[in-house]
Homo-oligomer: A and B are copies of this chain.
Amino acid sequence: MSPSRRLTGPHPTLATVAERAGVSRQTVSNALNNPELLREDTLARVQAVIEELGYTPNRAARALRTRASHMIGLRFEPAQEGTSNALIDRFVHSLVEATARTGHHIILFSGDPDDLLDGYDELLRATAVDAFVITDTYAGTPQVDLLDRVGAPFVTFGRPWDDPSAKYPWVDVDGARGAELATEHLIAAGHQRIAWLGWEKTSRIGEDRRSGWSRALAAAGIDAAGLGVRITDNVDAARMAAHELLEDGTVTGFACASDTIAIGVLHALAERNLRPGADVGVVGFDDSLGAQVTWPGLTSVRQPLEQVAIEVIDLLHTVLSLKTPENPARMLEPSLVVRRSTRRD
């Protein structure tokens, strides 16, 4: 005699479905997780009841039993104001779309701004997440060491700058190639003296992008001397640096490490009554909303974030199934979105 209890609670359980379908709970479970084990008619009957009752397995119970939460943690930093670079936000949108197809969910957490590692450990010990996506690899990757140590799966958006031979799975966009595209585009538009406005030397990403600019100039036989400038990532610093470079009248192109910097250059042009595109070509980086709305339209290097998200989730999937990914290091190509800041109409 089975102790069949009828639950009065709002949610049907395995037992409810089993009773209604006239099978055991295990059979319902199999219908869900190993449908090939059931006879066709039994399966159909069980599925009909599941449908009818609107049954969805209880996540907590399933997680407790299988030790898999199907949650992916992402540490979400406070909003950065004053920069047009909301790249991470766009990435998160893509990530949510990408996870939707796999049954995983993104859970956002915050941590002490002074402690890059804060928050990870707790979620892990609570078995609240199966894995992490790490985005802030530009700041070095202490998180990677931590997660490696405790054996937690993760994938990073951003390559292992500190240790190119590191073998954890990552996805990144070739920033040097992006800057090269930008510079080639300016050269093709007839510019010769093309400046680089980038970040401080401490930024690996910044130096990488800068190398793409150098490469493009070298390939075209253009001397880069005095044209590479390093500043902090804000509009005003860029504006001032641009004024300095524009002083002698020979510089007519700017490849920039960010849209914020490029917009600073546009400000300088406005103040000098120079026409973006016609007089001076300007290219930004990241195709941020700022690039899209700013006057007269900013040409910018765009990272394929949708694809990055898909690759990240794909890698995560592989890692979570304890398989070794075939290609754990995935470099994607950026593209150039051309707008009026480089058109010589």
**Stretch in contact with the other chain, from A34-42, A105-113, A310-318:** A105-113
Nearest residue (CB) in B for A151 is B10
Contact of A293 among B60, B151, B294 (CB under 8 A): B294
Instruction: Judge if A92 is at the interface, Cβ distance under 8 Å.
Output: yes
A289 near B288: Cβ-Cβ < 8 Å: yes
**Stretch in contact with the other chain, from A125-133, A136-144, A217-225, A327-335:** A125-133
**Which residues in chain A, 126-174, are within 8 Å of chain B measured between CB atoms?**
126-128, 150-151
Most interface-central of A57, A84, A259 (chain B CB within 10 A): A84
B109 near A105: Cβ-Cβ < 8 Å: yes
**Stretch in contact with the other chain, from A23-31, A202-210, A262-270:** A262-270
Instruction: Judge if A344 is at the interface, Cβ distance under 8 Å.
Output: no
Contact of A296 among B54, B92, B150, B267 (CB under 8 A): B267
B105 near A105: Cβ-Cβ < 8 Å: no
Number of this chain's copies in the assembly equals 2
Given A289-B288, A289-B289, A294-B263: A110 touches B89 (CB 8 Å cut-off): no
Nearest residue (CB) in B for A9 is B67
Nearest residue (CB) in B for A263 is B293
Given A11-B127, A107-B105, A289-B289: A121 touches B54 (CB 8 Å cut-off): yes
Cβ contacts under 8 Å, A54 to chain B? 121, 125
5 other A-B residue contacts (CB within 8 Å) besides A59-B69, A96-B109, A267-B296: A60-B61, A60-B69, A89-B89, A107-B108, A266-B295
Where the two chains meet, the residues of A that have a C-beta atom closer than 8 Å to any C-beta of B are 10-11, 54-61, 63-64, 69, 71, 76-79, 81-84, 86, 89-90, 92-94, 96-97, 100, 105-110, 121-122, 125-128, 150-151, 235, 259-260, 263, 266-267, 270, 288-290, 292-296
